[in-house]
Amino acid sequence: MYKQWRIMGLIPARGGSKGIPGKNVRPMAGKPLIAHTIECARSSGVVDRLLCSTDSPEIAGIAEKFGAGAPFLRPPEYSTDTASGMDVIRHAMNWVEKNDPAGPYDLLILLQPTSPLRSPGDILASLRMLEEKKADVVLSACEAGHSPLFMNTLPGDFCMADFIRAEALDVKYRQQLPVFYRLNGAIYLCRWDYLKSHGGFFSSGTYAYVMPRERSVDIDDPIDFDFAEFLIINRAGGGERNGKR
């Protein structure tokens, strides 16, 4: 619990993954990938109930071993490549409202296992932002590594005649560019009643909690996985204390 709020943590982790087969249980720095998120949520000390939504008995067993409940298996229709994140969230919330005597909760915090570098402090800071801003939703973000002003699609012949946007052509120095941010996938914090009634995260009551890029790796492919593991091992070995980021 954080102050007056009862909080449910939700970790979505389906078994199928085309980019990295079995990625949610693949060992990263000595433990399954999903374990890093479970341990972070538990270490924050504010999550009253932590659930894993999965279609995989293997993932469910590992989640329970590390301290997250897995009282149901996600239905097949919510475990496909085309199922939306909101479908998964809505299913878990409905299950809690029907089966958890303590539910519904005041807040829901969605923590994706593909963001293993978030810290317990990030969870606490997002809660403080929700409180201070009187927000409905807080989403984690980070500075984009490259300005989208220098990105574009390419035609079939790969001609770059119109590749650079007009507003970027006159920029002489990188510091003149506006700062762009991207969602980093680490934290989706929302008031329970708001999410039930709106079915989405974005509104005038949505605010960004900005995280540093070194804690914002979102694992989509093997390179991301290897990079995240490198950062975890480097951090555990004292890299941050020695000024190595």
Check whether residue 216 and residue 139 sit in a common domain: yes
User: What digits encode the pLDDT tens for the residues 13-26?
Assistant: 999 777 788 999 99
205: in domain? yes
Give me the pLDDT at residue 166, please: 76
244: in domain? no
224: in domain? yes
The token duo for 195 is 């999410």
Check whether residue 152 and residue 139 sit in a common domain: no
Q: The domain containing residue 226 runs over which residues? A: 7-143+180-236
User: What digits encode the pLDDT tens for the residues 67-85?
Assistant: 999 999 999 888 887 788 9
User: What digits encode the pLDDT tens for the residues 131-148?
Assistant: 999 999 999 999 998 888
Check whether residue 82 and residue 103 sit in a common domain: yes
Strand, coil or helix: 241: coil
User: What digits encode the pLDDT tens for the residues 27-65?
Assistant: 999 999 999 999 999 999 999 999 999 999 999 999 999
136: in domain? yes
Strand, coil or helix: 15: coil
Give me the pLDDT at residue 123, please: 98
Question: Is the N-terminal amide bond of 222 cis, ω within 30° of 0?
Answer: no
121: in domain? yes
Is the pLDDT confidence value at 244 over 70? no
Check whether residue 113 and residue 167 sit in a common domain: no
Q: How many domains are contained in the chain?
A: 2
By CB neighbour count within 10 A (0-12 exposed, 13-18 middle, 19+ buried), where does 234 fall?
middle
Check whether residue 34 and residue 53 sit in a common domain: yes
Please give the model's pTM, rounded to 2 decimal places.
Answer: 0.90
User: What digits encode the pLDDT tens for the residues 146-155?
Assistant: 888 888 999 9
Check whether residue 126 and residue 207 sit in a common domain: yes
Interatomic CA distance for residues 225 and 122, integer angstroms: 21
Closest CA to 187 of 47, 72, 87, 80: 47
Interatomic CA distance for residues 129 and 118, integer angstroms: 16
